[in-house]
Amino acid sequence: MKICKKCGAHYPDDKIFCLDCNERLSDKLSASEEQKVRANLNEQMEQMYNKTDPLYVSKFDKTIGALAIVCAVVALAFLIIRHFTDQIIGFLPFAILWFILSALDALIPRLTWGLEKIRLSFFINGADDAEPGTLYLMGRKISFVSMFILGLAALLKSLFL
């Protein structure tokens, strides 16, 4: 692989001049340099792809989703222990429910969007092809974050009060 120093275009080894700007191309890249360029390109492609997918699961979504799963497991453990030791269960079942809903919405946005489309199909035609709008996408983040906070509140209240 060769690279044009002026515009950054990539060419096969047998090319001598850049087709876009007629600049003389650099020497052939070494194997490690070429690997770096390719990795960089792959990353750029992935970012472009993610930007065009409105229901892309971001790092933030993954973090909240993972936390919600951990908290659901903790709440479930306390629920089981308290059930068998005849202690007050409190809001633990609600905590588990909120955490599971939060994790589902954070990690599988297509699931909630699919349900929303079913709801929409009662009111409009062509709901199948509908794309989520900015407001829906914002609402989605607000909803899974608030469900996580509700779950946390229910868990803490059950454990310490």
**Closer residue to Zn ion (CB): 6 or 62:** 6
Contacting Zn ion (CB under 5 A), which of 6, 38, 62, 110?
Answer: 6
At closest approach, how far in Å is the CB of 2 from Zn ion? 10
Say whether residue 4 binds Zn ion (CB under 5 A): yes
Among 13, 20, 33, 46, binds Zn ion (CB under 5 A): 20
Greatest alpha-carbon span in the chain: 82
Residue count, binding to Zn ion (CB under 5 A): 8
In the three-class reduction of DSSP (H, G, I as helix; E, B as strand; rest coil), residue 151 is classed as: helix
Is position 64 an interface residue for Zn ion (rule: CB under 5 A)? no
Q: Which two tokens stand for residue 159?
A: 């454990």
Per CB under 5 A, does 19 bind Zn ion?
no
18 binds Zn ion (CB under 5 A): yes
Q: What are the start-end ranges of the H helices in the chain?
A: 31-52, 59-84, 92-107, 109-120, 134-160
For residue 24, give the DSSP letter. Answer: B
Is 21 or 70 the residue whose CB approaches Zn ion more closely?
A: 21
CA distance 114 to 23: 51
- β-partners of residue 11 are 2
Residue 57 CA to residue 50 CA, distance in Å, equals: 9
Q: By CB under 5 A, tell whether 106 contacts Zn ion.
A: no
Taking CB under 5 A as the rule, does residue 5 contact Zn ion?
no
Q: Which residues bind Zn ion (CB under 5 A)?
A: 4, 6-7, 9, 18, 20-21, 23
